[in-house]
């Protein structure tokens, strides 16, 4: 159970961090890199709250070993907005009332960003399919789907 | 941090196939293969398996390839994800049935991580076995944990954990072949013969072996393909029943047909009797009714994970009807 | 007409930017120097004596800093309803006995999770297993195992209502139906697991950050169970990832163990529950068997109701004694009847304790009521909407349980929703089988109190209070004990203050739910926050406005009554050019008062001990059923909801949509399965929350009524919207298939069974043979 020093590329920055073989990427992001925007809700890959983008694809950081994430490009929710302001998807979530308790929000925003980058004009059904692995207990998903639709209409995926 | 933490592990990141074989040989069943990780990490977190060594295949570049070889075969490596399958022009063009099945597995994020071969090697599932260490303190071990009872089928004399890989019926229907690697080199097996029917050890795989590739022959003309999955909440849930069908019609007659099921029993079901019956038959209500009876007879669905035998039987019948209707619409 | 600037507008919530960027801090996002990782050891047995706990081996694990058991506690019981000692039946760490699988027995704190887990495995607990009872009927047998000495026959609570004489009234009815309905065990499944972070100051003050709906109660009950003055305890609620009633118990072992471990280790301790701990041991909704008897006259007017409810309570009280009452009272909404008898019994069993869950007793009894009324309407040849219209409570009415209706838009809800859903046409034209698929449409109705009018403990505090302090720059600090757990109360309170004082939202700076800074508030439950905390905010804002207007009146040489506040200015109505800025007014106030800050307060107590006012709603659901497999799809929900004046329509819709999601899950797929007291599906794969791909189209119409009690006329929306969902779905499925489901949840299996039964019955008698297929 030696600590191993690894390099992770997170939100465009190279971060050197000591990890154990049984540390998940989620644990390292939250506890060693202070990137607490990524949430832990089930730890078993059953809820989507810990979604991050690895090499531009949404994946579950709770089922990713930290040592297995080296050499890849990791984007967390902290890497979506800039000091200048919110990303178009985030803006749309705010304006459409898609956020309630907010615990599922970072994971869904990242999932939606990936969807729009692949498919700038998704149908209602395609949006629902894309986020069907992200549990939300507050919203009934209605306003989340509307927000993603509105972001697409505003050109967020282009 | 909560109690769902991985146990202390040793993680090997081999750079070559030989290195991976070497580690697997040394540790045997104490080492698990990590590709997508979506099945194995929960098993480790819940302490369902005793292995504490992980062999990460993702560090071996050749495993991540989809390649077309001589003799027109397409080879899919051990770390090719379901998303890669969905995105591969080669697969989309030649094996839409496999794509349809891959899309029906779990959800977006999982498909980006989980591998096709991982879906073939996914452990059998059951309401009881896949529980945490704390949970198991309340009762005696089941067969799959080394005990001598089955909770899923009360009084059962064997393990009745279900085979659940959604892509398996498609691959069997496509006559896919596996490359299994071990200290003595590569051996080949059809996907159909890879499953033991023993819930405790569902795969024909020695402790020092692992699956390194799956090969598909170019699909021949005249076949129509379809896949359906029944579950409570769409793709996300494990199948209550999944069915792949390939059909070569000749007018109203069935020239050839393949029907394969998964998610209904301890191993995938290749509906051989149904096939023999249907070949050469007209598609009409009588033949459909007779075929449904045969499918139900040879699939022997179980009552577990989410539904009962009665519902599974009705679902299988409805899927058969719907797929047949889709592949060969009766005018 | 809404002439407000901020009230009634579709405004983004004040915390949503932090939440979409990952900046919002939840308890698990916080850490303190030297913080330890805490874990809880739970009972693997449903009923047992604790003979001995040996922690010596566990203490030897490197990194372990503290292990606590009941021996380290003052052994004082608690219970959220502390008005009666009988309802305080639980120790935060088990003393001598455990009564359900998952009960907290010990806790460990270590420098890292690996060490804490290793230590947890090494704590040796010797149990003597006792016979256990899991079924509430069996538990009432005198020979059954007894869970608590104070509760013979395991009756945890009984509650009776009698009004008029139903027995006599039934004899005069044209139609009387009696049916038994059963509902399953369901759970909140909030996304953020329970978590607490505790630390002690050297002076003996305790600070606890916790994911709770009720910080005030946590403070009180922590004080009680640790035997210290609650005023020494500061409970802070950071952002909370949902609660739905599951974090409203006043105290959980998570908070208690974190505090106790932190004291023993002399270091901060954080405990986070894993998802299986949440599913296996957290509070949940009561399963209940309801025998309902309803009599109507020939016109379909409800005359009498008799109801018996047997609640499976689990091992401890939690909020269950109240649930037992509410199942009796909530079924008197939204319909009126003269004669009523209710007999509720809550029974202890060796299962995890049941408490409050969104709707708190309402979803269970509304499921029964609306299905039974649908059956009665059919038997009388009446349209269910028309029958509901006749029976609905109107403004000025009083329900059979004494709810005084001060505003009701129920009839308007029915009219609107049936028109929007095409009720009459669709019920006639679409309701014909099409291949293997059948279409159905059904109605569900609801009414719900806007907050309870009482505390659970004895206190002199107001139900809600708000303090406002003005800054030199003209901005306001608003302090409220109200707890936003995701429903948006922080935003609504800011909207109210901004509206009254003519300020933009960005000038309002809110601090909520910190027991050291903010005044007491009952917390987030019983749909009370908008009305209670909203009124407190309104009262405080008016007090601030009075002070400011007095200054401004002097300055402008005007009468304070003629002034208005708008756009950061105070001026005489109609003359906006001659003004004093809000900031100047604040500074003048300070000058006149020797620099003393402009500090005002407002509070609110419900004028009625039951509730100040009630919301109403009518929902129509459309479904499509596959008659071959019993599988079905929910096509559409049409909703009309009367929450008075929606303060933020976007938030109101969010509540309704969320309620439909949760209500749909409850109706069709959520169920905790048990075997010998053990939860069989403690995971998100096992317990099926609705997913995005399952949710139907939802069309919402706000029915605006002017409520005399609500702030700006607002009423509740967060719970009442749940009640109609399940019966609307069940009635639609009946309409499609002719199969009545009286036992939740509705599954393909139950529909298939019903279809089969119907087939064999149809074979025997031809009277309904043409109904379907």
pLDDT in tens, C365-414: 999 999 999 999 999 999 999 999 999 999 999 999 999 999 999 999 99
Task: List strands edge to edge, sheet with C569-572.
Answer: C563-566, C569-572, C579-581
CA-wise closest residue to C345 among C140, C88, C89: C140
Q: By the CB < 8 Å criterion, does C560 face chain B?
A: no
Q: Which two tokens stand for residue B162?
A: 């279900």
Instruction: Using a pLDDT cut of 70, give the percent of chain C over it.
Output: 98
Q: Residue A137 and residue C242: Cβ atoms within 8 Å? A: yes
User: How confident is the model at residue C453, as a pLDDT?
Assistant: 87
Give the whole-angstrom CA distance, residue C729 versus residue C723: 11
> Could you give the angle at which helices A142-153 and C649-668 cross, rounded to 10 degrees?
130
Q: Residue B107 and residue A68: Cβ atoms within 8 Å? A: no
Q: By the CB < 8 Å criterion, does B231 face chain C?
A: no
Q: What share of chain B is helix, strand, coil (3-state, %, to 5)?
A: 35, 25, 40
Pure H helices in chain B: 17-27, 40-45, 82-87, 89-94, 96-103, 108-113, 116-120, 133-136, 168-173, 272-278, 285-299, 309-327
Q: What is the mean pLDDT of chain C?
A: 96
Give the whole-angstrom CA distance, residue C238 versus residue C483: 9
Q: By the CB < 8 Å criterion, does B132 face chain C?
A: yes
Task: Check residue A42 and report its DSSP letter.
Answer: -
**In C, which residues are within 8 Å of B321 by CB distance?**
628
Mean pLDDT, residues C185-201 = 98
- Asked if pLDDT for residue A146 goes beyond 70, the answer is yes
pTM of the model: 0.97
User: How confident is the model at residue C1, as a pLDDT?
Assistant: 46
Which chains neighbour C (Cβ–Cβ under 8 Å, 3 or more pairs)? A, B
Task: Check residue B251 and report its DSSP letter.
Answer: T
Least confident of C138-152, C237-251, C425-439: C425-439
Give the whole-angstrom CA distance, residue C47 versus residue C25: 39
What's phi and psi for C659, nearest 5 deg?
Answer: -65, -40
- A2: confidence class by pLDDT, cuts 50, 70, 90: low
**In B, which residues are within 8 Å of C276 by CB distance?**
4, 131-132, 134-135
CA atoms within a 13 Å half-sphere pointing along the CA-CB vector of C704: 10
The contacts found for B134-138 with CB under 8 angstroms, 24 or more apart, are B134/B3, B134/C42, B134/C44, B134/C276, B134/C277, B134/C280, B135/C276, B135/C280, B135/C678, B135/C682, B137/C44, B138/C44, B138/C45, B138/C101, B138/C678
Closest Cα in chain A, distance from residue B53 (Å): 10
CA-wise closest residue to B168 among B101, B251, B80, B111: B101
Closest Cα in chain A, distance from residue C529 (Å): 15
User: How confident is the model at residue B319, as a pLDDT?
Assistant: 97
Contact C343, C305 (CB under 8 A): no
Mean pLDDT, residues C426-432 = 84
Give the whole-angstrom CA distance, residue C566 versus residue C582: 9
Q: Residue A133 and residue B8: Cβ atoms within 8 Å? A: no
Mean pLDDT, residues C565-573 = 97
3 state DSSP class of B167: coil
User: How confident is the model at residue C771, as a pLDDT?
Assistant: 38
Beta carbons within 8 Å of A78's beta carbon, 6+ residues apart:
A11, A35, A37, C21, C22
Tens of pLDDT, residues A60-98: 999 999 999 999 999 999 999 999 999 999 999 999 999
Q: Which two tokens stand for residue A127?
A: 């949006």
Give the whole-angstrom CA distance, residue C508 versus residue C130: 57
- Asked if pLDDT for residue C642 goes beyond 60, the answer is yes
Nearest Cβ partner for A132 among B10, B37, B107? B107
**In C, which residues are within 8 Å of A132 by CB distance?**
691-693
- C2: confidence class by pLDDT, cuts 50, 70, 90: low
- Asked if pLDDT for residue C566 goes beyond 50, the answer is yes
Q: By the CB < 8 Å criterion, does C272 face chain B?
A: yes
Closest Cα in chain C, distance from residue A119 (Å): 18
Beta carbons within 8 Å of B134's beta carbon, 6+ residues apart:
B3, C42, C44, C276, C277, C280
Report how far apart, in Å, the C-alpha atoms of C391 and of each of B261, B306, C337, C387, C388 are: 53, 40, 8, 6, 5
Q: Residue B318 and residue C629: Cβ atoms within 8 Å? A: yes
Report how far apart, in Å, the C-alpha atoms of C471 and of each of A60, A154, C563, C746 are: 45, 39, 21, 56
User: How confident is the model at residue C3, as a pLDDT?
Assistant: 84
E strand or H helix that includes residue C493:
helix C489-501
Least confident of B24-38, B293-307, C342-356, C533-547: B293-307
Closest Cα in chain A, distance from residue C282 (Å): 15
**In C, which residues are within 8 Å of B139 by CB distance?**
678
Mean pLDDT, residues A23-32 = 98
Nearest Cβ partner for B318 among C628, C681, C690? C628
Other Cβ atoms less than 10 A from the Cβ of A13: the count is 10
User: How confident is the model at residue B330, as a pLDDT?
Assistant: 61
Q: By the CB < 8 Å criterion, does B56 face chain A?
A: yes
Tens of pLDDT, residues C706-731: 999 999 999 999 999 999 999 999 99
Tens of pLDDT, residues B47-60: 999 999 999 999 99
Instruction: Using a pLDDT cut of 90, give the percent of chain A over it.
Output: 96
User: How confident is the model at residue C764, as a pLDDT?
Assistant: 67
Report how far apart, in Å, the C-alpha atoms of A10 and of each of B46, B108, B151, C27, C591 are: 29, 22, 45, 24, 53
**In B, which residues are within 8 Å of A23 by CB distance?**
6
Give the whole-angstrom CA distance, residue A63 versus residue A26: 8
Beta carbons within 8 Å of C528's beta carbon, 6+ residues apart:
C450, C451, C452, C463, C464, C522, C716
Tens of pLDDT, residues C97-110: 999 999 999 999 99
Mean pLDDT, residues A38-55 = 98
Which chains neighbour A (Cβ–Cβ under 8 Å, 3 or more pairs)? B, C
Q: Which of residues 105-144 of B touch A (CB under 8 A)?
A: 106-110, 112-113
Q: Which two tokens stand for residue C480?
A: 């409220």
Q: What share of chain A is helix, strand, coil (3-state, %, to 5)?
A: 35, 20, 45
Q: Which two tokens stand for residue C350?
A: 């060796």
Tens of pLDDT, residues C197-246: 999 999 999 999 999 999 999 999 999 999 999 999 999 999 999 999 99
- Asked if pLDDT for residue C540 goes beyond 60, the answer is yes
Spans of chain B, pLDDT less than 50: none
Q: Is the peptide bond before C745 cis (omega within 30 degrees of 0)?
A: yes
Nearest Cβ partner for A41 among C192, C654, C659? C192
Give the whole-angstrom CA distance, residue C81 versus residue C318: 8
Q: Which two tokens stand for residue C554?
A: 């002097």
3 state DSSP class of C524: coil
Nearest Cβ partner for C680 among B127, B237, B314? B127
Q: Residue A140 and residue C188: Cβ atoms within 8 Å? A: no
User: How confident is the model at residue B307, as a pLDDT?
Assistant: 81
Beta carbons within 8 Å of C555's beta carbon, 6+ residues apart:
C580, C584, C585, C588
- Top residue of B9, B107, B118 to mutate, by most chain A CBs within 10 Å, is B107
Q: Classify residue B158 by burial, with Cβ atoms within 10 Å: 0-12, 13-18, 19+.
A: middle
Strands (E), C73-194: 97-98, 104-110, 124-129, 155-163, 175-183
- Asked if pLDDT for residue C753 goes beyond 80, the answer is yes
Tens of pLDDT, residues C289-302: 999 999 999 999 99
Nearest Cβ partner for C37 among B1, B137, B311? B1
Tens of pLDDT, residues C655-702: 999 999 999 999 999 999 999 999 999 999 999 999 999 999 999 999
User: How confident is the model at residue C433, as a pLDDT?
Assistant: 72
- Asked if pLDDT for residue C573 goes beyond 90, the answer is yes
Q: Residue C276 and residue B236: Cβ atoms within 8 Å? A: no
What's phi and psi for B110, nearest 5 deg?
Answer: -65, -40
- C465: confidence class by pLDDT, cuts 50, 70, 90: very high
Tens of pLDDT, residues C241-279: 999 999 999 999 999 999 999 999 999 999 999 999 999
Contact C607, C451 (CB under 8 A): no
- Asked if pLDDT for residue C704 goes beyond 50, the answer is yes
Token pair 């700038």 in the structure block, residue: A120
Q: Which two tokens stand for residue C650?
A: 């976007």
- Asked if pLDDT for residue C445 goes beyond 80, the answer is yes
- Top residue of A24, A46, A54, A63 to mutate, by most chain B CBs within 10 Å, is A63
> Could you give the angle at which helices C362-380 and C384-391 cross, rounded to 10 degrees?
120
**CB-defined contacts A:B, below 8 A:** 88
- Asked if pLDDT for residue C767 goes beyond 60, the answer is no
Report how far apart, in Å, the C-alpha atoms of B161 and of each of B125, B169, B263, B266, C595 are: 5, 17, 10, 6, 75
Q: Classify residue A125 by burial, with Cβ atoms within 10 Å: 0-12, 13-18, 19+.
A: exposed
3 state DSSP class of C207: strand
**In C, which residues are within 8 Å of B2 by CB distance?**
39, 113, 193, 272-274, 277
Q: Is the peptide bond before C117 cis (omega within 30 degrees of 0)?
A: no
Q: Residue B4 and residue C274: Cβ atoms within 8 Å? A: yes
Q: Which two tokens stand for residue C23?
A: 């900046």
């Amino acid at each position: 159970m030696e600590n191993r020093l690894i390099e992770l590329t997170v939100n465009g920055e190279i971060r050197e961090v000591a990890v154990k073989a049984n540390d998940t990427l989620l644990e390292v992001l939250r506890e060693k890199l202070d990137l607490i925007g990524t949430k832990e809700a089930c730890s078993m890959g059953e809820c989507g709250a810990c979604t991050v983008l690895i090499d531009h694809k949404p994946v579950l950081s709770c089922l990713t070993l930290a040592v297995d994430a080296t050499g890849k490009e990791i984007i967390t929710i902290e890497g979506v907005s800039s000091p200048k302001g919110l990303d178009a998807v985030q803006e749309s979530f705010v304006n459409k009332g898609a956020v309630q308790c907010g615990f599922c929000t970072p994971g869904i925003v990242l999932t939606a960003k990936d969807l729009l980058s692949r498919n700038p004009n998704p149908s209602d059904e395609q949006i629902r399919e894309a986020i069907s692995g992200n549990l939300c207990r507050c919203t009934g998903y209605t306003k989340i789907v509307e927000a993603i639709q509105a972001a697409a209409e505003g050109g967020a995926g282009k | 941090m909560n109690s769902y933490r991985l146990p202390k592990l040793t993680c090997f990141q081999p750079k070559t196939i030989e290195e991976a074989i070497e580690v697997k040989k040394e540790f045997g069943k104490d080492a698990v293969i990590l590709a997508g990780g979506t099945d194995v990490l929960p098993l480790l977190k819940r302490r369902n398996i005793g292995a504490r060594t992980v062999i990460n295949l993702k560090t071996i570049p050749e495993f991540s390839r989809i390649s077309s070889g001589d003799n027109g075969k397409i080879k899919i490596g051990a770390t090719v994800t379901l998303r890669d399958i969905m995105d591969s022009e080669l697969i989309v063009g030649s094996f839409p049935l496999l794509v349809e099945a891959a899309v029906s597995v779990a959800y977006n994020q999982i498909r980006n991580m989980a591998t096709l071969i991982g879906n073939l090697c996914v452990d059998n599932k059951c309401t009881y076995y896949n529980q945490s260490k704390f949970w198991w303190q309340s009762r005696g071990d089941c067969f799959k944990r080394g005990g001598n009872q089955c909770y899923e089928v009360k009084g059962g004399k064997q393990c009745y954990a279900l085979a659940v890989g959604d892509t398996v019926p498609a691959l069997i229907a496509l006559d896919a072949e596996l490359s299994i690697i071990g200290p003595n080199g590569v051996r080949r097996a059809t996907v159909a013969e890879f499953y033991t029917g023993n819930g405790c050890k569902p795969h024909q795989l020695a402790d020092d072996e692992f699956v390194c590739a799956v090969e598909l022959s170019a699909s021949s003309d005249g076949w129509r393909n379809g896949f359906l999955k029944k579950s409570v909440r769409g793709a996300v849930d494990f199948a209550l029943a999944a069915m792949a069908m390939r059909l070569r019609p000749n007018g109203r007659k069935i020239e050839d047909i393949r029907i394969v099921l998964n998610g209904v029993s301890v191993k995938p079901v290749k509906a051989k009797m149904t096939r023999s019956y249907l070949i050469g038959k007209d598609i009409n209500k009588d033949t459909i009714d007779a075929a449904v009876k045969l499918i139900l007879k040879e699939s022997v669905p179980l009552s577990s994970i989410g539904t009962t035998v009665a519902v599974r039987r009705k679902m299988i019948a409805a899927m058969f009807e719907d797929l047949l209707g889709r592949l060969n619409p009766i005018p | 007409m809404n002439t407000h600037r901020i009230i009634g507008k579709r405004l983004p919530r004040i915390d949503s930017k932090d939440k979409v960027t990952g900046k919002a801090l939840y308890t698990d996002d916080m850490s303190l120097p030297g913080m330890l990782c805490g874990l809880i050891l739970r009972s693997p047995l449903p009923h047992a004596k604790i003979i001995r706990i040996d922690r010596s081996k566990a203490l030897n694990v490197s990194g372990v800093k503290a292990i606590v058991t009941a021996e380290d506690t003052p052994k004082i019981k608690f219970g959220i309803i502390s008005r009666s000692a009988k309802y305080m039946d639980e120790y935060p760490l088990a003393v001598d006995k455990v009564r359900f699988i998952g009960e907290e027995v010990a806790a460990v704190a270590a420098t890292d999770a690996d060490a804490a887990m290793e230590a947890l495995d090494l704590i040796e607990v010797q149990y003597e297993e006792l016979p256990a009872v899991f079924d509430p009927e069996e538990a009432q047998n005198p020979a059954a195992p007894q869970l608590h000495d104070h509760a013979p026959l395991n009756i945890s609570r009984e509650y009776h209502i009698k009004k008029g004489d139903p027995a006599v009234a039934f004899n005069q009815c044209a139609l009387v139906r009696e049916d038994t309905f059963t509902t399953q065990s369901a759970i909140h499944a909030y996304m953020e697991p329970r978590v607490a972070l505790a630390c002690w100051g050297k002076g003996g003050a305790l600070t606890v950050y916790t994911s709770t709906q009720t910080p005030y109660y946590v403070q009180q009950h922590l004080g009680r169970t640790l035997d210290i003055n609650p005023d020494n305890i500061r409970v802070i609620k950071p952002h909370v990832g949902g609660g739905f009633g599951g974090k409203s118990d006043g105290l959980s072992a998570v908070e208690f163990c974190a505090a106790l471990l932190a004291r023993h280790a002399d270091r901060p301790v954080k405990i986070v529950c894993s998802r299986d701990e949440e599913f296996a041991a957290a509070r949940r909704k009561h399963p209940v068997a309801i025998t309902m008897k309803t009599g109507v006259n020939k016109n379909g007017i409800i005359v009498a109701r008799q109801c018996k409810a047997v609640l499976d309570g689990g091992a401890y009280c939690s909020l269950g004694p109240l649930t037992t009452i509410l199942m009796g009272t909530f079924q008197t909404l939204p319909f009126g009847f003269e004669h009523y008898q209710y007999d509720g019994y809550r029974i202890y069993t060796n299962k995890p304790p049941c408490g409050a869950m969104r709707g708190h007793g309402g979803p269970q009894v509304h499921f029964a009521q609306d299905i039974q009324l649908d059956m009665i309407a059919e038997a009388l040849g009446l349209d269910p909407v028309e029958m509901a219209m006749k029976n609905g409570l109107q403004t000025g009415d009083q329900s059979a349980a004494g709810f005084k209706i001060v505003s009701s838009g129920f009839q308007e809800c029915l009219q609107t929703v049936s028109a929007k859903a095409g009720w009459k046409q669709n019920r006639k034209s679409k309701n014909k089988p099409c291949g293997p698929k059948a279409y159905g449409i059904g109605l569900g109705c609801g009414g719900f109190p806007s907050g309870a009018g009482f505390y659970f403990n004895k206190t002199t505090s107001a139900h809600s209070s708000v303090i406002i302090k003005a800054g030199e720059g003209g901005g306001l600090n608003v302090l409220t004990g109200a707890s936003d757990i995701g429903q948006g109360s922080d935003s609504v309170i800011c909207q109210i203050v901004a509206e009254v004082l003519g300020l933009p939202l960005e000038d309002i700076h809110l601090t909520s739910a910190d027991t050291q800074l903010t005044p007491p508030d009952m917390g987030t439950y019983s749909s009370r926050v908008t009305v209670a905390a909203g009124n407190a905010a309104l009262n405080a804002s008016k007090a601030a406005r009075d002070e400011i207007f007095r200054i401004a009146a002097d300055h402008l040489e005007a009468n304070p009554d003629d002034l208005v506040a708008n756009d950061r200015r105070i001026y005489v109505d109609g003359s906006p050019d001659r003004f004093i800025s809000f900031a100047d007014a604040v500074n003048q106030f300070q000058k006149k008062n020797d620099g003393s800050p402009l500090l005002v307060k407002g509070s609110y107590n419900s004028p009625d001990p039951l509730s100040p006012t009630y919301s109403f709603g009518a929902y129509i659901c459309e479904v499509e059923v596959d008659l071959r497999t019993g599988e079905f799809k929910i096509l559409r929900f049409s909703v009309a909801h009367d929450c008075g004046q929606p303060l933020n329509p976007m938030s109101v819709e969010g509540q309704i949509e969320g309620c439909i999601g949760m209500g749909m899950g409850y109706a069709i797929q959520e169920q905790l399965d048990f075997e010998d007291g053990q939860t069989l599906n403690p995971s998100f794969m096992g317990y099926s929350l609705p997913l995005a791909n399952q949710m139907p189209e939802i069309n919402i119409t706000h029915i605006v009524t002017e409520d005399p009690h609500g702030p700006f006329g607002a009423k509740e929306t967060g719970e009442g919207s749940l009640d109609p969902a399940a019966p609307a779905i069940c009635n639609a499925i009946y309409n499609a298939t002719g199969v009545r489901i009286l036992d939740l949840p509705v599954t393909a299996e139950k529909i298939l069974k019903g279809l089969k039964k119907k087939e064999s019955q149809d074979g025997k008698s031809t009277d309904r043979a043409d109904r379907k297929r």
